[in-house]
Chain A
Amino acid sequence: MSASYDLYQEQILDHYKHPRNKGALPGATLNARDSNPLCGDEVSLHVDVDGSKRVSEVRFEGRGCAISQASASILTTMLKGLPLVEVRALNQDALLKKLGIPLSVVRLKCALLPLHVLRLALGETKAVPT
C-alpha cells in the first residue's frame, strides 16, 4: 500500500472491521451519544465505573466512516481499567497519538467525535443541537 494511503493503516481498518467493545451496556454509569451533522457519523458511549472509581466496563455503539468508528473502538481500549481521574485527563493528543494517522481538518472531526461523546458522558460539555 502506498504512503498516500496513510489514513487507512492496518490498525484503523482492523478496528473498523473488527470493532472492540461494541454493543449496548444496559445500566451503565455514564452514557452519551452525539453525531457529526456534516458527515452523519454517530457514536454512543456507555461507561461503567466501579466503587474504586475505575472504568470497569465500556462499550460503544455507532455508525459512520472508518475513522470515526475505529477511533471509538480505540478509545474504548484506552478507557478500560482507567481511574476516572485519568479518564478526565485524557486529551485529544493522547487519542490522536494512538490513532497514528495524518488527518485533515474535516477528518479530524470524525476522529475526535468519540472523545467529544466521552466528554458529554462525563458531563463536561453539552451536546450541540443537531
Chain B
Amino acid sequence: MAKPAKVLLNVPAIKADFPILQRKVRDRRLVYLDSAATSQKPKQVIDATSDFYSRYNANVHRAIYELGEEATREYEGAREKIAAFIGAKSPNEIVFTKSTTESLNVVAYGYGLKGKLQAGDEIVGTVMEHHSNHVPWHFVKDHKGAVLKYVDVSDEGTLRMEQYDELLTKRTKIVTVTLCSNVLGTINPVKEIARRAHEVGAVCVVDAAQAAPHMSIDVQDLDADFLAFSGHKMLGPTGIGVLYGKPEALEATEPLLGGGEMIREVHLGRASWNDIPYRFEGGTPNIAGAIGLGVAVDYLTKLGMEAVRAHEMEVTQYALERIGRINGVKTYGPKDVQKKAGVLAFTIENAHPHDVASILDVEGICIRSGHHCAQPLMERFDLPATARASFYVYNDLEDVDALVAGIKRVQEVFA
C-alpha cells in the first residue's frame, strides 16, 4: 500500500529501541499517533532513569560523598547537553522545571506578575496558543491589571502577521507565541516576531513544547528571551521541563518556588537568592527526569534534528495526500509541509471525534480527540472538537496507511 519510502530515518531500527512499540493492543500492532500529547520512550532513556535509582541515587548539590557527586555530575551534564541542543550560550541559561506549563508560569509570575510589569502594560499573545500559554497570562491580567491582546489566525491556520503592526506599541512588554501549534501544526515565524517585539522594547516568550522535539532550535538565531519546552514530548521522562532564558531576562525574573536549593542565605523573615538557574529550582529537582532528558537529547542528536524534521515532513506530506483524498474528511492547518509540523487535526463528516478515536482504538491506533487544550483556537474555527494524529521518529508510511484504513472503517460504521 505504501509508496516507496525515501525516509531519512531507519524507522525499523528506531522502533526496535522502543519497548512499548513491541506490544500489541487487542492482538493488533500498536500504531501510536499521539506523540503531540506525549512521546514514547526509547530503552536508552528508560535505562538511564532506572540506572540513576539503581546505582547512584543521591540528592544533588549537597551530598559530599561519591554518590552525590555522581548524581550532581550527571544532572549538570544533562543541563549542558540541553544547552547545546538549543544553542544556548551557557548551561546557566537552562532552568529545570517540571513541564512547559511550569516554565511558562515561572515567566508569567516571576517576570510579569511579581516582576517589572505595571498596570496597563500590554501582553500580546495569539489565538492559537495552548491553554498553558493563555492561562498564566490571565493571572497577570487579573492580579496586575495587564492588558491582553491577541493576534488572530487566518482560515489556513497561519498567524495574521500584519496584526502585529497595530497590536505592538510602546506599552507592549511581553510578546508570547508558540513556535509550533499543537492543533494545526503551523510553524510560526518566531524570529520575525521576536525582532518586532524587541523593536518596541518587549521580551519574546516562546512556547516550544511542540517544536523542540521535532525541529532544530537555535535560541541565538531566534533571539528569544524565554523559551519553554517539556521532556516527555521529546522521548524523555514525564515531570521534567525546561525554561531557557537570556541571562538578563532570568535576572529580571523573581522565583516562583521558595525553599531549599534556590537560596544563598536564609534568616528569620528574610532570604537572598541563589544564582541563576538554581534560583528557580527550589526543592529537590526531578534528578532522574533531567538525566533521562539528557539521554533523550543524545538520542535525538544522534538521529540529527534535520533528519528528524525531513522524515516528519515526508510522513506528513503522505498523510495529507492520502487523507485529503478521502471524501467527507476535512483537515485543518497549512497544507504545505514547509510550514507545518507532523500534527494533523481532522474531522470526519457525521462522526464525532470521540467516536473516531474509539473506533480507531479498536484497530490498535492511538489518536487524540477533543479540544487539545486550545479552546480559543477551536472557537476561532467554530469546532467543538477534532481528531488529531501526530507523528514522530518511530512512525512510518505504514502507520499512515493504518490510519487511512481506520478512517474508512469509521465511515463504514457511521454510513
Across the interface, B358 reaches (CB within 8 A) one of A7, A41, A64, namely A7
Which residues of chain B have C-beta atoms less than 8 A from A13's C-beta? 413-414
Which residues of chain B have C-beta atoms less than 8 A from A8's C-beta? 355, 358-359, 413
Question: A8 to chain B: closest CB distance in Å?
Answer: 5
A-B contact count (CB 8 A): 41
Which residues of chain A have C-beta atoms less than 8 A from B371's C-beta? 40
A54-98 interface (Cβ within 8 A of B): 63-67
The verdict on A107 contacting B26 (CB below 8 Å), with A13-B413, A39-B385, A63-B384 known, is no
A64 adjacent to B359 (CB under 8 Å): no
What band does the interface of chain B fall in when counting residues whose beta carbon is under 8 Å from A? 10 to 19
Which residues of chain A have C-beta atoms less than 8 A from B384's C-beta? 40, 42, 63-64
Contact with A along B346-357 (1 / 0, CB 8 A): 000001111100
The verdict on A38 contacting B370 (CB below 8 Å), with A7-B358, A65-B354, A67-B355 known, is yes
Question: B411 to chain A: closest CB distance in Å?
Answer: 12
CB-nearest residue of chain A to B354 = A65
B413 adjacent to A39 (CB under 8 Å): no
Q: How far is the CA of A101 from the CA of B178 in the complex (A)?
A: 41
Question: A99 to chain B: closest CB distance in Å?
Answer: 14
Question: A18 to chain B: closest CB distance in Å?
Answer: 13
Which residues of chain B have C-beta atoms less than 8 A from A41's C-beta? 354
A4 adjacent to B362 (CB under 8 Å): yes
B26 adjacent to A4 (CB under 8 Å): yes
B370 adjacent to A65 (CB under 8 Å): no
Which residues of chain A have C-beta atoms less than 8 A from B355's C-beta? 8, 65-67
Most interface-central of B351, B354, B358, B359 (chain A CB within 10 A):
B354
CB-nearest residue of chain B to A7 = B358
B354 adjacent to A39 (CB under 8 Å): yes
Question: A109 to chain B: closest CB distance in Å?
Answer: 10
Q: How far is the CA of A19 from the CA of B38 in the complex (A)?
A: 37
B370 adjacent to A5 (CB under 8 Å): no
Q: How far is the CA of A48 from the CA of B59 in the complex (A)?
A: 66
> CB of A110 within 8 A of chain B?
yes
Since A5-B413, A8-B413, A63-B384 are in contact, a sample of 20 more A-B pairs with Cβ atoms closer than 8 Å, ordered by chain A residue number, is A4-B26, A4-B362, A5-B362, A7-B358, A8-B355, A13-B413, A13-B414, A17-B414, A39-B354, A39-B370, A40-B370, A40-B384, A42-B384, A64-B352, A65-B353, A65-B355, A66-B352, A66-B355, A107-B354, A107-B358
Could you tell me which B residues sit within 8 Å of A by CB distance?
Answer: 26, 351-355, 358-359, 362, 370-371, 384-385, 413-414
Could you tell me which A residues sit within 8 Å of B by CB distance?
Answer: 2, 4-5, 7-8, 13, 17, 38-42, 63-67, 107, 110
Give 7 CB contacts A-B under 8 Å: A5-B413, A7-B358, A8-B359, A39-B354, A39-B370, A65-B352, A107-B358
